[in-house]
Every structure is written in C-alpha cells, then in structure tokens.
C-alpha cells in the first residue's frame, strides 16, 4: 500500500488540468438530449479527441493514450473538478470499444475504433427489447442468415440518444430455434440502413433521451458481426461486468456532486438545519462519495495486480445509484419550495440531476437484479 | 369518541371519485395541461355542477357548509385525479379565508356566492410560498402583506397586479410571482386579525396538500400494482417477485398510517384546537413522505417505463414531488413539530392524542 | 367523526386511573422471565382480576367488564401512563379467550374462562414447531384419535413462558393423511399431563423466556378440543388476524415509550445533538406512536360500526414492530457508550427493551410474511 | 499509488484466520467467557506463540514492527473470531502509546518486550470511554489524567488502583471503573506530549474497533448465509426467497464499501496525515453501521433462532452492538466529521481523497 502519486502521475494530472483549463467551455451547453445540445457535446468530444483525451485508457495507436487505470481515475478527477461537459459517446468508448478490442477482427478494429475515438461515429446501444428488460435473455429480435448477410427483424428499445447516433450495437437471435442466452449474435448496424425506423421516446423531463429502433428486413453484412455466431451473449457479458463495475460511473463525478451539495448546504444552512435529516444526509453524501472513490482505487489496484472483477460490480452499481439519488433528494430538500422551479438558475442543474438519478437504480441492470446477483454469485444462495 | 366517517361522507367521496374517473382521465388532463392557460373552463363548470366548488361555502351564500374533515376526504380524490391547484385553492382555502372575515364584509359577501356557483377563481399569496399558484386566471387575488405588527390581507382585482410566470417541473402547475401594491383600498384584514387568518390558512394549506399527497400516493400505487400484475419478465408477472411485493407492501403501510394522522389534523383544525398547528405539521410530514415514497417505489417497479413521459405515472409523481414542499417544506414543519414537542409536554404520552390529559 | 370522549368514557378513565394509582406497586418487579418475577407478575394479575381489570372487554359474566373497544383503549392508556407491570397471561386473555368465546362449548367456556380471568390458569401457546415457523401449515405434531381421547406426539417450540404456565393451546395434525392447513385440530392440554417434557430455551438476555414442549403419547380427552376435528386451522385463524391487528400491542405502550424517549433526549440533548439523526429519530418516534394510536382509534371505530379487520392487520404488525425497534435503537444512541452497561439504572430498561424489540419483526408472523400478505391479499398481486 | 495489500500481508492474515478458526471456536469462547475472569491464559499463550502480541512492537524490542495498516487486516480477524478486548488493547493500542514515548523511557523499555512475548496485559483508560476494559487482569494500567493544559498519562501497577467491575450486555467484555491517584511517580507523559498521545490513541482506538466491527459484520453474514442455505420453509431453503437474498446482498454492499474507508484511515494514521482524525471518524461510522446492519439482518433471517442464547449469532451481535459506541460513539464521530467538513474545504471534491489538492 502506497498512497502517494508518483511524479509521473502528478505530471499527468497537471497536464490534464492545464489542458482542461484552456479548453473547457465557459458557458454551459444545452441538454445533450436536444439536437442543439447534442451537437455542442459532439463538437466537444471532437475537441477532446484532438487533444488526445477522448479515451485515455485506449492504446495510443487507436487514438488513446495507453493510460493505466490510476491515470484514468486522475483524468476523471480533473475532468469532474473542471465541470467539463458530460460525455455523449460513452456507449461507444466504454462499452463497445473494449469489446471490439477483445473480440474484434483486425479489420473491425481498424474500421471502427479510430472513428469512434474521433467521434466521427456516435454509437447507440441496442440490447433491451419491450419484453426483454431485466430479463435480457428473452431477446426475440431476429437475425436470419442469408448468404453473407443477416436479415434483421424486430424491435429494440431504451436506446439512449439513438435519434442522434449513426450506429448501434445490438444482440439479435441468430438461431431461430434457440432460447434464452443461447443462439444470440452481436451485430453492428448503421442506423441509416434501409428498413430501420427510429422512434424517439420522451423521458421524464420531456426530452427525447431514448428511442425505439424498429428493424424491418434490414440487411447487414456478416463482417459486422462481433465474435462468433451464436456467441453474442458471451461477447456482451465479457466486458459488461467490468465496465459496469468500474468505468461506467467514475467516482469523481459523485465527489463533485457531494462537494456542490456541501456548498449548497452551507449557503442555506440556517434554513436547512431546521430539518436535522439534511445535515445527516449531507455528511452521508460526503462519506458515500469518498467511500466510492476509495473502493474504486482499491479495485483498480487489484485489477492492476491481475484480479478479475466479478459480481462485486453489482455492489458498485447499487452503491452509486443510491448515492446519486440520495444526494439529489437532499438537494431538493435544501432548495425547499423553490426546487420545483425549473428555470431558477440555482435549481436547474439539481432538478435535472434529480430526474436523471431516478433512472440510476433501473438502467444497467435494475438494483433488484443486482441484489439477486450478489446473493446468488457472491453468497452462493440458491437460485430458486 | 368516534374517529370514523359517516356514510354520507363516504358516499359523497365515492360519487366524486366516480365523476372524476370519467371527467379527469389522464389523457384529458394531458390535453388541458398542454394548453397555454393549463386550465379548462369546461371541466371547471362540470366540477361546479357536481357541487365541488360549493363544498365549504356557508349555506347562507349558496354553499354546502362542509368543513376541513370533509375536505380531507375530498382532497384525496382531487389528488388521486390530479386536479390542478386552482379548484381547492378557491373552493377550500380562499373560502376559508373569506368566511373568517366579518359577516358584513363586502368582499366576503361578494365573492362567496361566486365561489359556490363556480364562476370565480381565486389565487392566494401566502408568505410560506415563494410563488402564487394560478394567478394568471384569477378573478381575485388574496395577498398577504407582512408588516411588523402581523400579516395584513389584501384583495386585488387582476388589473391591479403584475403576474410573472415561473415554470414548474409539474405540468399541472401554473406558478407566478405577483407584483402589487398594498393600499387602504385593498386591505381586507388588518395586521392583528390578518395574522390569525394567515396562521389558519397556513395550516389549512398544509392539510390541503397533505390530503392531495395521500391521493397521489394511492394513485401511483394503483398504477404500479396494475403494471406489476401485467408486466412479465422471467416468465411471470413481476408482481409475483417478492422484491416487488415488498416494495409495494411498504407503500401501503406508509399510506395507511398517514390517513388517520390527516383526519385527526383536519378535525383539530375544524375545532380550532390549540394543537392544530402541530397536528397539521405532523400530517404534512407523513403525507409528504407517503407521496415521495410511493413515487420512488412506483418508478422503480415501472422500470424504464416509469422514466417516460408517455406513462401516466410521471404526471402524478411530479405532482407528489412538488407538493412535498408546498405550504411549508419538511424543514418548516419539522421545526414547528420539534418546537412544540420540546416545549409542550401535554402533547406527549398515552392519552395525549385527544388532549384529555391537558 | 366526534373526537370527544363521552362523560361515561371520562368517568371510566377516572375510575381506571384512581384504581391504578392505589394499586400499582411502587417497586419494579423482577423480569417475568425469571421464576421470582413471574410470580410477582402472576400475583399482580390476580390483583387486577380482583379489581375486575384483568380482561375489560370480556363479558361481565365471564369476569370482564363488557367494555367496548374505546374503553379498552382508555384502559390501556391509563395502564401505560401508570407504568403498571407487563401482562403475563395475554396469550390466554387475548388469543385463547376470544377463540373460546367464539368456538367453545358452554362447558368449555365455563371450565376455562373464569379461571383464565382470575389467572388461576396461566396459558402458553403451542403453534410453532422446529420445521413450522413462518410456514405454520407445515405442522407435523400428531393427535391420533383413540376412542374419546387424542394421543399426542411431537414437539412444539417458541412457547413463551411455558416453563411457568400450566396449560397450553396447540394445533395438532389429527388426520395423519392430511397436509398443510387441512386436518389440524385445536387442543387444550394441561402441562402436567404424563408424557409432557418442557425444555427451556434461553433468550438473548440469558433468561428462559421460551420453551420447547415435547409430547410423548400424551392423552387428552376429546372434550379438550376447541372447534371441530380437522378444523383447527380455521379456529386458530379466525381470531388471529383480529387480535394480531388490534389487541396484541396497544398503542398506549408505544406512546409511553416515545414519551420516555423524548425525556431521555431532553436530558442528554447537548450530547445527542452532535448526531443530527437522533433528533430526527426522536421526532419520528412521537410521530410513529401518535400515528399508531390514531390508526387504532380509527380501526376501533370501524370495527364498532361493523367492519371486519382483514389483511390490514399486517400493516399494523409491521408498523409497531419497526417503531419499537427504531425507538429503542435511538435510545441506545442517546445513551452512547453507557448503553452496554446492563446494571446502570438509566440503561437497564432501554437495554432490555432493545433486546425484546429485536424479536418484534419476527414473532406473530415475520414481517416478510406480513409483506407477502399485504401484497397478495390487499393488492392482489400473484402468489407465484 | 497502490491501494492494495501485498501478498505477505494477505498471507499473514490468512494464517491468523486459520489459527483462530481452530483455537477460537465459539464453543471454546463460550467456556472462557463464562469463567469469572473471562479470559484464558492458555489461549493468550497460543496467540503470543503465533506472534500476534508482537505484531507492532518495534523489532528492537522483540516485535515485528508492523503498523496500523496491518492491524486493519488483523483486527478484522480478531473481530471475526470474537477475541476479547485485552489482546488488541495490549498489542496494538498500548503498544502504540508506549512506542510514542521517548526511546529511553524506562516504562517503554520495560513493557514493550513483555508485550511482545505475551507475558503482559495492559489496560487503557481514555477519557472517551466511561470505563476501562480488562482492568481486572491487567499487569499495568495506562491511565489518562485530564488537566487544564492537556491530558497527562500515568502508568500504574494493579496494586495502585481500585477496580470496580460493571457488567456489559456482551459476555466477552470485562469492563470496570478504575479509581486511582495521579502522582509524579506515576506520570509517564506530561500534559503537552500526553495530549498528542491521547489524540493518537483515540484515533487508533476508533480504528481498532472499526476493523473488529467489520470482522464481526462478516462473521454474522457468514453465519446467516449458512443458516439461510440450510433452513427450509415452504419447501425450499429460505435463502432462495428474494426478501432474504436482498437483506443479505445489502449487508455485502455495506461491508464492501466500509473496507476501503477503513484501509485508507489506517494508512492516514500510519502516515500521521493531517486528516487522520476525520478519516478515522469516517471509518468508525461506516464500520459501526456495517456491524449494526449485519446484526439486524442476521437476526431477522435467523428468525426466532437468532433470538436465542444457543445460536452463535448472539455472541457476535452483542459485540457489534457494544463496539458501536466504544472509542467514540456515533455522535462523537459525526461531530468531528461535521466540524472538519464545514471548516476544511480541502477535504471536499474530486482529487481530495489523497490530498493532492490541499
């Protein structure tokens, strides 16, 4: 155990900080769930890519910096401290990217990864279906092999920002006689392919944050399949646990929220202290964010020593989603009767965050599913 | 000692419920809320026809002369069906304020009949709220004017005020800040009497939203139970999973133990009991918690569907979130409760609930 | 709705109060889980019976006062306010008594009820078995008919204070070919019958609060059966819900605890306020106890207007058990490092109450079972 | 930057765990705890043989020279196996205090070797605790003497003190109040230096029980998982019911997110970092919560069995309950945390954890 950053790590931090100071836009962007805001965010991603910051853990030859995970944590800390914009291509960079690196052919890597790093392509995820949510193995969208193509039919849903993306990675049932997690294939599909219809879904905040994607005899070439035919589930799962457990939600983001919450509390302390649970909640916010950060450093250290992350990823998911909800609820309480006023400048960000936090315990595997996983895989309790 | 409702009260509630089920279906409300005004004069007329605007107007002015306890039931229905603020603000809160003016007061005499027949909308500006609800369509505004000696009340015609809207996350809300000038001509209650009115209005306002919050909690529960019974995953309805069952059972418990607190507080207010304020705060806290909790469990059980605009849950969830802090946020009511309990031993212990020991 | 007590109710309250003031012992008794303490409590029950207070809701001819449930609430309020001793024959008076009144023959009523009211008999309950806890229908102890007797074999457990009682009421499987809740019979068994062995179970506090009862060819006459043969489940359930929902835990007890908690908080406020969650918890204690009381008055009113209590009893069980636990945990927090000192006079009662509160979410149907009942019976969610 | 343990540390922990599994089985502990003294010199000798008493004694005095971070691991094992206070109090806390005396100090030189070889038990009287643990068998008592200028420390032989036992709900505890007189002859640290010692001891004491609480939380979880896997109701193991699964999954999450907080606090203490106190308080709060929560869920899943003396759960549960308030109760640590966070912005925000921004 050595809790000092090396000189190289300190230098890296300084480099990140300097670059961000010079480049982070002074004005907040519009919501990335609007066309205008999405474009702003996409341009910011391109700026990041030009600076070489879009995917710091990727190998240099693919547009990254080959950073280790400690550097990744440092980058995220500086990024959050600088209040830099939210990232809009994380589905590509965090989920598809590493999967491509592990399972992709050389041609696939060359074709997709550099464009992804530069944000030339924006990726949507296509796993959920109307009847395959928590029970993802119930996927029924089909990919029938027709020579050197697959013909896709079916429907995907909850595809984040799909109306703005140009590619989607999906699981399809390629063996029509299969069931559950067998016989699925992992396919990369251009969203402008004939036969695709995208229908936006309005989220709580009224914005079109998600979409349904309908596939009607969509043809994609076999070379768009990632991994072997029928092995899609394993391909999807191989990285899902690790990503979900570690990279999906960097701790710095929660530390930043906790810090802002403490600021908000101090600003309104006299009125907030009329409710003793607020002070308690503010302390818990700090404790939770610190704990999540420490757990991440601990996990990163173990991974760098060769450990694999298993079902612990599920404790992570529960922890950050509940922390996020608790912090935003606390902010609402501090803001009191003003909390509903969406155009109030002090309120706006908290209110949007509060709405977004509602979904945290649902997406990326509901917290009920995560608790099942912990009980069955970590504790060995019987499935039924 | 009989802490129940009689059959008439229950029958009235049931009939209002049946009426609103048809007339205030979510798709109708969505249409209304999307208009600029956010209100439908047609729906208001139907509500008046049902007698809802006349409920607590004294009989002498064409009303039904009902009181806080009846409203505790009725408001649950208004909450359940997401009826916007203007109705209860006018027919319950403003009516309460006007009725407390001297009988001969011209404003009282002029407006109570118009409330009863459904032709008037009245907006209220109370210091506990940083905004005024439904000021934009008000035929009359009753506005508090805090002074050193207490809170005066003034009645203003719309032409005398300047209304600046502020957007709420809840699409049913039409909030605004109101700029106006107090004058002798507009004053309807001086500081001494006005403070009494302000205090009573605050408690009544808190109960008003408390009962709506309970109705909202129940609505979200019902929507969620329906969803859980229909939505299948892993080969069975998700409502068959124990985790979902236990989420929803906890919502039931929160609602069921908030109800009697609300009824008791309404009765205390109606009797002008010395512990009205602490009982109102207790009711507001538990009803707000029931609303908030039902929202949380509702969206969790709805899964991603609950995060959409399309599914009705969001209409009621947002209303539950915002009413949580209306007419005194949790901090306000906790402080009142805390002060009362630390200073008034008569509120504590067995037998204290109905004040027999004080 | 009329929230004034009638003159008769006020007079009743005054009568209760005066009698208790004259009779409640000044010195606290020893724990009723000790031989000495049990005797003290038994004598107190006899004193209550002499005063006509042992079972106020029972008909006068059976030793009660024929009080309605409002009077019962008043009695309980005065009893709790007077810090009168805990009741040790509640299994008899609250559970078996009403069951006997509903299902007993005239002979059974005459034989058992007056002795119960006078505490000549102390009753233990015998429902749980080692393999029939939450799943009570798994009862396997058998009662085989042999002429005008039943021959009992098997084992009961968690029988509260059975080592001090002289009778037990039990469910036995009288039809050996039956399963689940069919084929059970409700039997009244003297604990000095040949073939009975009682083995105490030490509770958390080291006291022998429970016992196992072993039946080895125990013969009881058929006239000790309550209700019809094979109908034991229905007999047991008919009153269980109502009792559990209303009479088992009177609200006054929790109001008294909340009041004492507020006193404790005020006494130690300076140190307690260092932890904001304590003040919050003290407010919640008062709110919870008041809510439980109000809910009881509301339910009593409905029952007096003819309503039946159904699955709502389960919300009651959850509410009082969690309230009790929360209040005692809060007291522990206020007492801080002294909370572990069992002989400290300020600590003793809170610590014993804290231990007892641990069991509240388990006995009388675990809170998990109660939540299932609420979801399935009140909300209509599917069983499986 | 490497926030992990090395293989040696893990191997040592594993070997201690294997040793205690045999030597500190619950039935043995029950026998020991039921004796008057509550301690077994035989078990102590075995622990010393394993090197546990020598862990943090400097190598110059026959010890292994380990520190707070190692103890954060080791103490989890002591907690897991319910080893009474005397061992860690002597080998960790008293050792830390004595080691901080000037090297030439005769008490330091006399007692460190005896701690290392297992022949001494040392009891500690710190102002944060209203009692002294294991005073009755102590060969030496190190007692704080608060003065206006700070906290002096005194070393007393058993003959110089009067020990009055006080019973704890936890049968492993032997607590007492200790009457004694401070004199020049007994003083080992004056007020100025002594205050530094007292502050460090408080943080170390808090970490000492924090890590034991984590071990206890894990033990109760393990016992409960075993029970849930074996106990059948409704035709299947109760561990197959989702409600039970989710209870226990939540325990896992609490434990897993308390561990790194503990390790970080131990490292801060070892480095004498300026934020040692706030980190220790953070650790104490989350470890106490993990212990308390594991106890609650443990007894709930054990059902009535968990309420019995016979089932081992109670041994660990009571220890978790009482250590919750030892070496600073939650109020104490929350106050420290709260003061620090409100006054020291450097503790807040991304990058602050390892103090790079300060």
Residue ranges covered by each domain of chain A:
7-88, 123-231, 249-378
Q: Find the closest chain A residue to B243 by CA distance.
A: A368
Write the pLDDT tens digit of every residue in C133-170. 999 999 999 999 999 999 999 999 999 989 999 999 99
Between CA B210 and CA B326 the distance in angstroms is 10
Find which of B267, B268, B349 to mutate to test the C interface (most C CBs within 10 Å of its CB). Answer: B349
Secondary structure class of C188 (helix, strand, coil): strand
CA-closest candidate to residue D78, choices D218, D192, D197: D218
Which residue in the set C78, C312, C383 is minimally distant from B256, CB to CB? C312
Fold of A123-231: Butyryl-CoA Dehydrogenase, subunit A; domain 2 (2.40.110)
pLDDT of residue B357: 40
User: Which chain A residues are within 8 Å of B243, Cβ to Cβ?
Assistant: 368, 371
Write the pLDDT tens digit of every residue in D176-195. 999 999 999 999 999 999 99
Tell whether the model's pLDDT for residue C229 goes beyond 60.
yes
Q: Are the CB atoms for C155 and C124 separated by under 8 Å?
A: no
When computed from its CA atoms, the radius of gyration of chain B, rounded to whole angstroms, is 20
D3 touches chain A (CB under 8 A): yes
CA-closest candidate to residue C23, choices C71, C98, C82, C65: C82
Q: Find the closest chain D residue to C370 by CA distance.
A: D243
Write the pLDDT tens digit of every residue in C338-364. 999 999 999 999 999 999 999 999 998
* Enclosing H/E stretch for A214: strand A210-221
Between CA A226 and CA A188 the distance in angstroms is 7
The separation between CA A170 and the C-alpha centre of its own chain, rounded to angstroms, equals 16
Per-residue confidence band for D357, with pLDDT thresholds at 50, 70 and 90: very low
Minimum distance, in Å, between the CA of residue B338 and any CA atom of chain A: 9
Between CA D335 and CA A238 the distance in angstroms is 45
Q: Which residue has the higher pLDDT, C248 or B340?
A: B340
Which residue in the set D167, D303, D322 is minimally distant from C366, CB to CB? D303
Angle B296-B302-B303 from CA coordinates, rounded to 5°: 90
Q: Chain A: list its partners (3+ Cβ pairs within 8 Å).
A: B, C, D
Q: Which residue has the tokens 């040949």?
A: C194
Tell whether the model's pLDDT for residue C38 goes beyond 60.
yes
pLDDT of residue A241: 59
The mean pLDDT value for C265-292 works out to: 98
Could you give the ipTM of this predicted complex? 0.97
Partners of residue B189 on adjacent β-strands: B153
Find which of A340, A374, A384 to mutate to test the B interface (most B CBs within 10 Å of its CB). Answer: A340
Q: Are the Cβ atoms of A1 and D69 closer than 8 angstroms?
A: yes
D349 touches chain A (CB under 8 A): yes
Tell whether the model's pLDDT for residue B356 goes beyond 70.
no
User: Which chain B residues are within 8 Å of C375, Cβ to Cβ?
Assistant: 239, 244-246, 248-249
Angle A214-A217-A221 from CA coordinates, rounded to 5°: 105
Tell whether the model's pLDDT for residue B265 goes beyond 70.
yes
Residues shown for chain A:
384
pLDDT of residue C310: 80
Q: Are the Cβ atoms of B243 and D241 closer than 8 angstroms?
A: no
Per-residue confidence band for B358, with pLDDT thresholds at 50, 70 and 90: very low
Find which of D350, D351, D354, D356 to mutate to test the A interface (most A CBs within 10 Å of its CB). Answer: D350
pLDDT of residue D144: 98
- Which candidate in C45, C77, C78, C243 is catalytic? C243
Instruction: Tell me what percent of chain C is helix, strand and coil, each rounded to the nearest 5.
Output: 55, 15, 30
Q: Find the closest chain B residue to D247 by CA distance.
A: B243
Supply the residues of A annotated as catalytic.
243
User: Which chain D residues are within 8 Å of C277, Cβ to Cβ?
Assistant: 330, 334
Cα–Cα distances in angstroms (integers) from residue B186 to residues B160, C67, C364, in the given order: 10, 58, 63
User: Which chain A residues are within 8 Å of D5, Cβ to Cβ?
Assistant: 1
Minimum distance, in Å, between the CA of residue D4 and any CA atom of chain A: 5
Minimum distance, in Å, between the CA of residue B279 and any CA atom of chain A: 17
Strands A149-160 and C184-190: unpaired
Per-residue pLDDT of chain A (384 residues; tens, 9 = 90+): 999 999 999 999 999 999 999 999 999 999 999 999 999 999 999 999 999 999 999 999 888 999 999 999 999 999 999 999 999 988 888 889 989 999 999 999 999 999 998 889 999 999 999 999 999 999 999 999 999 999 999 999 999 989 999 999 999 999 999 999 999 999 999 999 999 999 999 999 999 999 999 999 999 999 999 999 999 999 988 766 555 567 778 999 999 999 999 999 999 999 999 999 999 999 999 999 999 999 999 999 999 988 888 888 899 999 999 999 999 999 999 999 999 999 999 999 999 999 999 999 999 899 999 999 999 999 999 998
Minimum distance, in Å, between the CA of residue B193 and any CA atom of chain A: 27
What whole-number percentage of chain D has pLDDT above 90?
Answer: 98
Between CA D64 and CA D47 the distance in angstroms is 14
Q: Are the Cβ atoms of D308 and C202 closer than 8 angstroms?
A: yes
To 10 degrees, the CA torsion angle through C64, C68, C69, C71? -80
One-character DSSP codes across A136-172: GGG---EEEEETTEEEEEEEEEEEETTTT-SEEEEEE
One-character DSSP codes across D95-128: HHHHHTS-TT-HHHHHHHHHHHTT---EEEE-TT
Q: Are the CB atoms for B215 and B223 separated by under 8 Å?
A: no
CATH code that applies to domain C249-378:
1.20.140.10
User: Which chain A residues are within 8 Å of C276, Cβ to Cβ?
Assistant: 276-280
Between CA D269 and CA C176 the distance in angstroms is 67
CA-closest candidate to residue A105, choices A274, A235, A260: A235
pLDDT of residue C244: 56
pLDDT of residue A240: 63
Find which of D329, D332, D333, D334 to mutate to test the C interface (most C CBs within 10 Å of its CB). Answer: D329
User: Which chain B residues are within 8 Å of C378, Cβ to Cβ?
Assistant: 249, 252
Write the pLDDT tens digit of every residue in D283-325. 999 999 999 999 999 999 999 999 999 999 999 999 999 999 9
**Interface C:D, Cβ pairs < 8 A:** 110
Cα–Cα distances in angstroms (integers) from residue B267 to residues B254, B272, B323, C2, D243, in the given order: 21, 8, 22, 9, 39
Structure tokens at A52: 């070489």
CA-closest candidate to residue C184, choices C171, C167, C197: C171
Fold of B204-342: Butyryl-CoA Dehydrogenase, subunit A; domain 3 (1.20.140)
D118 exposure class (CB count in 10 Å sphere: 0-12, 13-18, 19+): buried
Between CA A378 and CA D256 the distance in angstroms is 12
Q: Are the Cβ atoms of C338 and D130 closer than 8 angstroms?
A: yes
Between CA A256 and CA A84 the distance in angstroms is 11
This model's pTM is above 0.95: yes
What whole-number percentage of chain D has pLDDT above 70?
Answer: 99
Tell whether the model's pLDDT for residue D130 goes beyond 60.
yes
Between CA B160 and CA D290 the distance in angstroms is 61
User: Which chain A residues are within 8 Å of C275, Cβ to Cβ?
Assistant: 280
Q: Are the Cβ atoms of B334 and A275 closer than 8 angstroms?
A: yes
Q: Are the Cβ atoms of A336 and B325 closer than 8 angstroms?
A: yes
pLDDT of residue A94: 86
Secondary structure class of C160 (helix, strand, coil): strand
Structure tokens at C26: 């000044």
User: Which chain D residues are within 8 Å of C366, Cβ to Cβ?
Assistant: 300, 303
Between CA C233 and CA C238 the distance in angstroms is 8
Minimum distance, in Å, between the CA of residue B331 and any CA atom of chain C: 11
Minimum distance, in Å, between the CA of residue A278 and any CA atom of chain C: 8
């Amino acid at each position: 155990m050595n809790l000092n950053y090396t000189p190289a790590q300190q230098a890296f931090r300084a480099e990140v900080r300097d670059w961000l100071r010079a480049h982070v836009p002074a004005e907040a962007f519009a919501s990335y769930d609007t066309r205008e805001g999405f474009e702003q965010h996409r341009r910011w991603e391109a700026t990041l890519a030009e600076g070489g910051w879009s995917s710091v853990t990727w190998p240099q030859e693919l547009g990254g910096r080959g950073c280790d995970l400690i550097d990744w944590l440092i980058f995220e800390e500086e990024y959050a401290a600088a209040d830099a914009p939210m990232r809009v291509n994380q589905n590509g960079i965090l989920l598809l990217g590493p999967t491509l690196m592990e399972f992709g052919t050389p041609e696939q890597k060359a074709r997709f990864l550099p464009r992804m790093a530069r944000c030339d392509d924006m990726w949507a995820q296509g796993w959920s279906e109307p009847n395959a949510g928590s029970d993802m193995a119930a996927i029924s969208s089909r990919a029938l092999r027709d020579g050197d193509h697959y013909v896709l039919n079916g429907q995907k849903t909850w595809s984040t920002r799909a109306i703005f993306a140009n590619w989607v990675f999906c699981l399809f049932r390629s063996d029509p006689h299969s069931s559950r997690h067998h016989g699925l294939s992992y396919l990369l599909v251009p969203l402008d392919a004939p036969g695709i219809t995208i229908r936006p879904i309005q989220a709580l905040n009224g914005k079109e944050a998600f979409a349904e994607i309908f596939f009607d005899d969509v043809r994609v070439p076999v070379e768009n399949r990632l991994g072997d035919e029928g092995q899609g589930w394993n391909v999807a799962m191989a990285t899902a646990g690790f990503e979900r457990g570690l990279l999906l939600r960097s701790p710095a983001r929660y530390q930043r929220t906790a810090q802002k919450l403490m600021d908000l509390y101090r600003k309104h302390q006299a009125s907030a202290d009329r409710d003793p649970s607020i002070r308690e909640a503010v302390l818990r916010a700090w404790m939770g964010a610190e704990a999540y950060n420490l757990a991440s450093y601990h996990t990163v250290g173990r991974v760098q020593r060769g450990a694999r992350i298993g079902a612990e990823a599920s404790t992570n998911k529960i922890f950050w989603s509940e922390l996020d909800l608790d912090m935003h609820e606390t902010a609402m309480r501090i803001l009191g009767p003003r909390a509903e006023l969406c155009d109030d400048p002090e309120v706006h960000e908290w209110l949007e965050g509060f709405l977004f936090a509602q979904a945290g315990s649902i997406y990326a595997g509901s917290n009920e599913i995560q608790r099942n996983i912990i009980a069955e895989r970590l504790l060995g309790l019987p499935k039924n | 000692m009989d802490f129940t409702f009689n059959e008439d009260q229950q029958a009235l509630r049931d009939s209002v419920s049946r009426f609103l089920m048809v007339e205030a279906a979510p798709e109708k409300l969505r249409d209304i809320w999307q208009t600029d005004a956010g209100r439908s004069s047609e729906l208001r007329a139907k509500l008046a026809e049902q007698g809802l605007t006349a409920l607590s107007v004294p009989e002498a002015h064409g009303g039904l002369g009902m009181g806080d306890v009846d409203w505790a039931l009725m408001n649950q229905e208004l909450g359940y069906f997401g009826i916007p603020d203007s109705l209860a603000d006018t027919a319950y809160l403003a009516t309460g304020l006007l009725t407390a003016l001297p009988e001969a007061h011209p404003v009282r005499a002029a407006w109570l009949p118009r409330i009863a027949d459904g032709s008037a909308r009245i907006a209220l500006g109370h210091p506990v709220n940083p905004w005024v609800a439904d000021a934009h369509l008000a035929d009359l505004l009753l506005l508090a004017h805090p002074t050193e000696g207490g809170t005066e009340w003034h009645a203003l015609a719309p032409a005398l005020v300047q209304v600046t809207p502020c957007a709420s996350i809840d699409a049913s809300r039409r909030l605004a800040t109101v700029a106006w000038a107090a004058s002798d001509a507009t004053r309807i209650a001086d500081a001494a009497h006005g403070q009494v009115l302000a205090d009573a209005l605050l408690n009544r306002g808190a109960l008003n939203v408390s009962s709506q919050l309970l109705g909202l909690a129940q609505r979200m529960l019902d929507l969620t139970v329906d969803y859980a019974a229909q939505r299948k995953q892993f080969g069975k309805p998700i409502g068959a999973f124990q985790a979902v069952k236990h989420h929803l059972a906890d919502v039931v418990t929160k609602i069921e133990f908030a109800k009697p607190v609300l009824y008791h507080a309404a009765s205390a207010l109606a009797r002008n009991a010395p512990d009205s304020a602490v009982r109102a705060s207790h009711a507001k806290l538990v009803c707000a918690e029931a609303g908030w909790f039902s929202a949380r469990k509702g969206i969790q059980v709805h899964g991603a569907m609950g995060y959409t605009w399309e599914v009705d849950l969001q209409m009621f969830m947002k209303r539950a979130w915002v009413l949580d802090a209306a007419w005194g946020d949790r901090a306000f009511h906790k402080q009142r409760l805390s002060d009362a309990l630390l200073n008034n031993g008569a509120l504590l212990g067995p037998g204290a609930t109905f004040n027999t020991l004080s």
